[in-house]
Amino acid sequence: MNNLVSMTDLSAEQIMAVIKQAQLFREGAISQLSKSYTMANLFFEPSTRTKMSFEMAERKLQIEVLPFESGFSSTLKGETLYDTIKVLESIGIDALVIRHEENNFFESLIGKVKPVIINGGDGTGNHPTQSLLDIYTIWQEFGTLEDKVISIVGDVSHSRVARSNAHALTRLGAKVRFVCPPQWQGEFDAINEFDEVIESSDVIMMLRVQHERHDGNTSFSKEDYHEAFGLTIEREKRMKESSIIMHPGPFNRDVEIASELIECNRSRIFKQMENGVYVRMAVIEMILKGRE
């Protein structure tokens, strides 16, 4: 692993190696990096959890993190992403986390610049560390992904998570089903009735309704969406005993998920965020060590 831009870069073995290293970090392992490194996190779209999660991971690895304010950088003067990254390479940055609204932004970078590139989310395309933390959370729960039934529910066509997760989960042996209204399924096959999958799911992974990506003519009111595709208290009661609830956040309370369920016993929502730090530590350390 030389960079991480998409889950398709990773074999099943590599995914499991990340998961196991994340678990070691969770248990208190300390960084094996032998040099001092400098990183920067370039977030061209708003983010709290992913940006601060990477920042925490980097600090825990004793990496020096330079601040980068995307809203105040030379990209405002029309500089291309490639040119910005070459500048950062020149001043001595070893690795970059980048979130960018353009799908596959990294194609202009991989193989052309020296710093490690880690994709922190590109447009509606990939968000590989989110997939990895989801996989880690499921593995932590069940010890395996083999034959686990995972229902990904909601705004499938606009979700980075759905795309990133679909192939990886399947490759690890899970059975993935998308559940959404017909107009939101994009290129995916999907089940259009949430109630069909409740009892049979080991994992119900709710997606955020992306208000900011729809253009205002969504055919649902919040109440109607909650009724038809939200995880309601009533639906939660029908889930099987061992099954869990996940959500990548940020969530819309009482839209895709009932407010009371956010911190219920089945919910792994904040656990996912904890796991994100360990997974990111694992990814960064593995890539940097691999280049040493």
Q: Which of 45, 166, 180, 183 is nearest to 103 (CA)?
A: 45
**Of 80-88, 99-107, 148-156, 217-225, which part binds a copy of itself (CB under 8 A)?**
80-88
> Which residue in this structure is represented by tokens 């998409």?
6
**103: Cβ contacts below 8 Å, ≥ 6 apart:** 122, 123, 124, 125
Looking at beta carbons only, is 72 or 242 nearer to a copy of itself?
A: 72
210 backbone dihedrals φ, ψ, rounded to 5°:
-90, 70
SS3 169: helix
Instruction: Give the contact letters, 224-263, x = binds to a copy of itself (CB under 8 A), - = no.
Output: -------------------------xxxxx--------x-
**79: Cβ contacts below 8 Å, ≥ 6 apart:** 73
**Of 98-106, 122-130, 153-161, 267-275, which part binds a copy of itself (CB under 8 A)?**
267-275
Kindly state the DSSP code that residue 257 receives in the 8-state scheme.
B
DSSP H helical segments within the chain, as ranges?
12-26, 49-60, 81-91, 128-142, 160-171, 222-229, 233-238, 269-291
Query: Could you tell me the CA-to-CA distances from 218 to 190, 193, 224 in Å, in that order?
Result: 19, 18, 11
Compute the least distance from the CB of residue 155 to a copy of itself, in Å.
13
Asked if 105 touches a copy of itself (CB under 8 A), the answer is no
User: How far apart (Å, rounded) are the C-alpha atoms in residues 177 and 189?
Assistant: 8
Asked if 189 touches a copy of itself (CB under 8 A), the answer is no
Instruction: Give the contact letters, 116-135, x = binds to a copy of itself (CB under 8 A), - = no.
Output: --------------------
Looking at beta carbons only, is 51 or 175 nearer to a copy of itself?
A: 51
Compute the least distance from the CB of residue 190 to a copy of itself, in Å.
24
Query: Residue 286: beta bridge partners?
Result: none
Residues 4-63 that bind a copy of itself (CB under 8 A): 38, 40, 43, 46-49, 52-53, 55-56, 59
Looking at beta carbons only, is 163 or 247 nearer to a copy of itself?
A: 247
Has 127 been labeled as part of a binding site? yes
What is the CA 27 to chain-centroid distance, rounded? Answer: 22
From the DSSP assignment, how many helices (H) and strands (E) are in the chain?
Answer: 8, 8
Instruction: Give the contact letters, 59-78, x = binds to a copy of itself (CB under 8 A), - = no.
Output: x----x-xxxxxxxxxxxxx
Which stretches of the chain bind a copy of itself, using CB under 8 A? 38, 40, 43, 46-49, 52-53, 55-56, 59, 64, 66-80, 83-84, 86-93, 211-212, 249-253, 262, 270-271, 273-274, 276-277
Cite the annotated binding site for L-aspartate by residue number: 77, 160, 208
